């Protein structure tokens, strides 16, 4: 049996330590280590260094836990707990010096698959602002001591965030969905870090967020924030968030937004 409250302090401590490293490396100057799916899909040396710090600290504190991270090989869990980690979410923002990126750390039980996992702990930390969003399953979503709640839009319409993948061939479909989202949106935001977009939905700073092409580490922690703030997560025909689509909003808006996105 996993006791989420025991996992939260560890996740918070590691997120702060990882965030401090990311911020320090940013101030020293960022170098691109490699490109991945396309030339625009970059990984910095800091991405790799921060993920290694998180991985080492988790292994020291909880040997046998699994690991699923953006920049290193997956490790199967022997304890039932798997950590799903994006060391620097919003990598392009980070490389350009835009202070909108996050360390995203989630602990899940069961298979590390969003279709079936039980998210136990989620932490999303923006080292540039110091904001640290966190949630435990059944324990609510928080920003510091402030309890978070999703928002239903007012008469002017919904403030909706989205994002675009790195493959130019997918842009036309993405833009078609944005056009349809304007049927219920007052405006669109594209800030460049999925975990923070999800945290902002949980905090009521956004009414909704949708994006195609996300990986588990992009949405694992932020998705728990949304659920614990009274929101709904999904996007795929199987009801889970994932590569096909990730959608987050308050329940009523979720249904309306899903209808226009999938039309
Ligand atoms: C990013 C996401 C963002 C998406 C980018 C990229 P990364 O994750 O946070 O929402 O639009 O294409 O996937 O690569 O910075 O960890």
Q: Which atom of ligand 1 is nearest to the CA of 93?
A: 15
Over residues 114-139, mean pLDDT: 97
Distance 89 CA to ligand 1 centre (A): 6
Q: Does domain 4-145 have CATH number 3.40.50.2000?
A: no
41 vs 241: which has the higher pLDDT? 241
Residue 90 CA: which ligand 1 atom is closest?
A: 15
Confidence of residue 126 (pLDDT cuts 50, 70, 90): very high
Look at residue 32 in the predicted model and tell me its pLDDT: 76
238 vs 82, residue with greater confidence: 82
Residue range(s) of every CATH 3.30.540.10 domain in the chain = 4-145
Would the CB of 51 count as within 6 Å of ligand 1? Answer: no
* pLDDT at position 34: 74
Residue 196 CA to ligand 1 center (angstroms) comes to: 10
**Ligand 1 in reach of 216 Cβ (< 6 A):** no
User: Which pLDDT does position 88 carry in this prediction?
Assistant: 98
Ligand 1 atom closest to Cα of residue 213? 13
Is pLDDT at 42 greater than 90 in this prediction? no
The mean pLDDT value of the chain amounts to: 95
- For the segment 95-108, the average pLDDT, to the nearest whole number, is 97
Tell me which long-range contacts 59-67 makes (C-beta under 8 A, separation of at least 24): 61/10, 62/10, 65/107, 66/112
Rounded-to-10 torsion of CA 37, 40, 43, 46: -170
pLDDT in tens, 165-222: 888 888 999 999 999 999 999 999 999 999 999 999 999 999 999 999 999 999 999 9
pTM: predicted TM-score of the whole model, two decimal places: 0.96
- With a pLDDT cut of 90, the percent of the chain lying above it is 87
What b/e string do you get for 114-129 counting C-beta neighbours within 10 Å, with b at 16 or more? beebebbbbbbbbbbe
Sequence-ordered list of residues with C-beta below 8 angstroms from that of 20, at least 6 positions apart, any chain: 127
Residue 4: per-residue pLDDT: 63
CB-ligand 1 contact for 91 (6 Å cutoff): yes
Q: Is the CB of 218 under 6 A from ligand 1?
A: yes
Is the CB of 228 inside a 6 Å radius of any atom of ligand 1?
no
Tokens of 203: 């905090």
Contact (Cβ atoms closer than 8 angstroms) between residue 75 and residue 66: yes
Give the CATH number of domain 158-261: 3.40.190.80
Q: What is the pLDDT of residues 215-249, one digit of tens each?
A: 999 999 999 999 999 999 999 988 999 999 999 99
> CA–CA separation, 220 vs 82, rounded Å?
11
Cα(92) to ligand 1 centroid in Å equals 8
> Residue 24 — very low, low, confident or very high, per pLDDT cuts 50/70/90?
very high
Instruction: Measure the CA dihedral 151/156/158/164, to 10°.
Output: -150
Domain with CATH 3.40.190.80 in the chain: 158-261
């Amino acid at each position: 049996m996993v006791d989420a409250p025991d996992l939260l302090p560890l996740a918070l401590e590691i997120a702060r330590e990882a965030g401090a490293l990311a911020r320090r490396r940013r101030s020293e100057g960022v170098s691109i280590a490699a490109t991945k799916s396309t030339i625009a899909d970059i990984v910095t040396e800091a991405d790799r260094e921060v993920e290694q710090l998180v991985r080492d600290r988790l292994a020291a504190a909880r040997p046998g836990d699994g690991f699923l991270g953006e920049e290193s090989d997956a490790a199967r869990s022997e304890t039932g707990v798997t950590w799903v980690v994006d060391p620097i979410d919003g990598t392009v923002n980070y490389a350009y010096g835009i202070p909108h990126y996050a360390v995203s750390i989630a602990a899940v039980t069961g298979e590390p698959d969003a279709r079936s996992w039980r998210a136990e702990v989620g932490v999303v930390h923006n080292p540039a602002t110091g904001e640290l969003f966190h949630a435990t399953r059944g324990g609510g979503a928080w920003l510091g001591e402030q309890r978070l709640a999703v928002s239903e839009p007012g008469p002017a319409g919904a403030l909706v965030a989205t994002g675009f993948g790195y493959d130019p061939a997918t842009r036309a479909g993405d833009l078609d969905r944005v056009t349809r989202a304007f049927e219920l949106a007052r405006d669109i935001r594209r800030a460049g870090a999925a975990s923070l977009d999800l945290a902002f939905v949980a905090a009521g700073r956004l009414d909704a967020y949708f994006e195609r092409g996300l990986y588990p580490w992009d949405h694992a922690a932020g998705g728990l924030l949304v659920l614990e703030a009274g929101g709904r997560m999904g996007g795929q025909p199987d009801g889970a968030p994932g590569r096909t689509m990730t959608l987050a909003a308050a329940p009523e808006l979720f249904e309306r937004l899903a209808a226009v996105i999938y039309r």
